[in-house]
Amino acid sequence: MPPRNGARTKGNASPPRNTAAPRRPAPAARRPAPRPSVFRKAGRPEVRLRWVAAVVALALLAFLLRLAYVQLYDGAALAARGHNDRLVTTVLPAARGDITDANGVVLATSQARYTLIANPTSIARFVPTDAQVAAYRGAGELGTGAVAAAKLLAPLVHEDASTLGAALNASSKGKLLQYKVLAKDLLPEAWRAIDALGIAGISSEQTSERVYPAGATAGNLLGYVDADQQGAGGLEKVLDGQLSGTPGQETFERGVDGQRIPTGTDQDKAAQPGSDVALTIDQDIQWYAQDAADKAKKDTGATWVIVVVQDVKTGALYALANSGTADPNDSSVPVSKRGSVAVEGTFEPGSTGKIITMAGLLESGLAKPSSQFQVGYTYQTSNGQTFHDSHEHGVEKLTLAGILAESSNSGTVQAGSKMTAQSQYDTMRAFGLGQHTGLGLPGESAGILRQPQDWDGRTRYSVLFGQGLSANAVQVAGVYSTIANGGVRQPAHVVASTTAPDGTKTPADLADGSRVVSEKTAKQLTRMLEGVVGGDDGTGAKAAVPGYQVAGKTGTAEAVGSNGQLSSIVSSFAGFAPADNPRLTVGVFVKDPKTSIYGGETAAPVFSKVMGFALHDLGVAPSAGAAKPYKTTW
């Protein structure tokens, strides 16, 4: 059979099959259907919706699970956290205790004040109510926001509306603040008027301000407080622990914009006020003493004048005054001018210290008031030191009382040379020199009293008439109070008692008195001092007080000047009255007077005025008779 398609074969072999020949395509109906592909069908709308629904369902399920977790498990903790985030705690200042004088007159007290606070974020949304619009009395429309708030507030804080408006728009980094101080130290009535306006975003913080109703009276003693109302000087500092009290606190909820949530948590812990402190100072006597010091400074041209008034039986101070006392209400006064020269300033006692030498001689039995001495203008000691009186004179026949009455330096050295250096030193220490008074006022100086072994050949004798040592005014006055009190020294003090907030009154804890000389010696010294004022040759005649026996001593001594050297003079008079029944000691000290350097001329007249006023103010009866001083000559 011939091959198909005319193909030739070789021999009988079958012709090869042509595998490369194309096949006929199978009918379309017989083709196998292709397998469906998700990826090829993803573009169909119904499939896409199914995927979206599945994703949404998963998201909802996650939210539901989270909600269930928050509500059923973590809800309380989150609520507490949010509550705590809204809580704000502010300090409630404690009322500082009052300081009063001996008669209950208030010398220092605290009054409520307010700091005005604004929330600019809230103020920006402020829309005045009809009542607020009606309350506006300014020109033009009130407006809204910071402009309206500033117009309403300006008259009440005495500030220009435009300036106040700028503060109400205060911002940082382009964002309005939530806290801005607008004004400080507002009076309570001013805050009540502002609060009555009802401006959302305006609030206050209560503070206090220390006020001194008597002005400069006793300002050198009272001291002052700092910006935090804590004692920074004087008695305010010394007594800060009793006066301060314990601050309280208020905790409340605040909204996002800083406004207080009216129905939120509000918890108060009341502040505990401080204790009141009563002083021994008598306001009237203190005022008079300060006025007398100021007048004496002006009349004499002195650098300063100090006046001390002390109760001889208790050591209590009725007045501790110095000229130029600053008003503690005036915060502009520098710290250097707020202290008390009466305890900070020291000087040589001078002739007022001669009474200590006389006390030592009488107490040791080395001399009597009537002991006789021939006193020349000069006196030379055994070691060759020469001392002289203030005025030239011939040899005078003076008693020991006469040496004191005429304030003779040469006579005092002659008589005092009988004492040993140690004995003189011990007597001065016993009278309170060289040690703190016990007042505890800031800056108080103990003065200078060196040990006898440190005295040179001249100091050994100069201390006999009040030179070669230094003391403050309270120490010198205390010497005379000791004599007036029968020889018993009572420590000086200015605090009488404290009264706690519950009304419990506690007297001041005072040190016991100490006997310095016998009562007999004290009486002899008193009669000798009477001769200084009432005797024919006494240097203190101008210290006399009509109706009262006066015992005292004049003094003129060197003091440290502005150059650090003993280039200044302090003239003084210290004494007590009535001498027949002592009640008060007054000391007057005048630095660098230009009219006269002698205490009998500058200090004695001031003593007379202050002592007379104080005796009458306290109702002290006049003396029963005239003084009987010792004979001054022989």
- Among 519, 496, 518, residue whose Cα is nearest residue 508: 496
Position 390: which residue type?
Answer: S
427-437 mean pLDDT: 96
pLDDT, one tens digit per residue, over 361-370 is 999 999 999 9
User: Is the pLDDT assigned to residue 73 strictly greater than 90?
Assistant: no
- Residue 581 within a domain: yes
**So what's the pLDDT on residue 6?**
46
Quote the pLDDT of residue 609.
98
On whether both 224 and 368 belong to a single domain, the answer is no
58 part of a folded domain: no
Q: Is residue 485 part of a domain?
A: yes
Q: Are 415 and 400 in contact (CB under 8 A)?
A: yes
Which of 122, 203, 323, 351 is catalytic? The answer is 351
What pLDDT score does 612 carry? 98
Within a domain: 249? no
Residue 85 has pLDDT above 80, yes or no: no
Instruction: Decide: helix, strand or coil at residue 254.
Output: strand
- How far apart are the C-alpha atoms of 142 and 150, rounded to whole Å? 9
- pLDDT by residue (tens digit) across 264-285? 656 678 889 999 999 999 999 9
Q: What is the pLDDT of residues 122-158, one digit of tens each?
A: 999 999 999 899 888 888 889 999 999 999 999 999 9
Residues 181 and 300 in one domain: no
- 189 assigned to some structural domain: yes
Question: Are 225 and 301 contained in the same domain?
Answer: no
Q: Which two tokens stand for residue 439?
A: 């007042």
- Which structure tokens are listed for 59? 């998201």
Range of the domain at 423: 283-326+342-617
> Is the domain of 269 the same as that of 361?
no
How confident is the model over 535-544, as pLDDT tens digits?
777 889 999 9
- The secondary structure of 509-577 as a DSSP string is --PPPEE-S-HHHHHHHHHHHHHHHHSTT-S-GGG-BTTB--EEEEEEEEE--TTSSS-EEEEEEEEEE
Q: What is the pLDDT of residue 299?
A: 97
Question: Domain containing 137 — which CATH number?
Answer: 3.90.1310.10
pLDDT in tens, 598-624: 999 999 999 999 999 999 999 999 998
Q: 27 pLDDT exceeds 70?
A: no
Token pair of 519, please? 């009562």
Q: What is the CA radius of gyration of the chain?
A: 47
Do 347 and 217 lie in a common domain?
no
d(CA 342, CA 331): 22
**H helices, E strands: number in the chain:** 22, 25
Q: Which residues pair with 269 in a beta bridge?
A: 249
CATH number for the domain that contains residue 457 = 3.40.710.10
What is the pLDDT of the chain when averaged over all its residues? 89
Same domain for 315 and 269, yes or no, is no
CA distance 548 to 303: 31
Return the pLDDT at 325.
95
Same domain, 382 and 448: yes
Domain annotation covers residue 33: no
Residues 203 and 169 placed together within one structural domain of the fold: yes
Tokens coding 539: 């240097």
Q: Does residue 372 share a domain with residue 509?
A: yes
pLDDT of 12 > 80? The answer is no
Judge contact between 221 and 126, C-beta under 8 A: no
Question: Beta strands 248-253 and 386-388: pairing type?
Answer: unpaired
The total domain count for the chain is 2
Q: The whole model's pTM is what?
A: 0.81
* Structural domain contains residue 475: yes
Does one domain contain both 393 and 269?
no
* pLDDT in the model for residue 412: 97
- For residues 234 and 288, state if they share a domain: no
Tell me whether residue 32 is in a domain: no
Look at 78-92, 401-415, 524-538, 563-577 and tell me which has the smallest mean pLDDT.
78-92
**Distance between CA atoms of residues 152 and 131, nearest Å:** 12
Which one, of 280, 371, 292, lies nearest residue 325 by Cα?
292
Q: Do 449 and 522 sit in the same domain of this protein?
A: yes
351 is catalytic: yes
pLDDT > 70 fraction of the chain, expressed in percent and rounded: 88
How far from chain centre, in Å, is Cα 392? 52
Are the CB atoms for 431 and 516 separated by under 8 Å?
Answer: yes
> What is d(CA 153, CA 125) in angstroms, rounded to the nearest whole number?
16
pLDDT above 50 for 7:
no
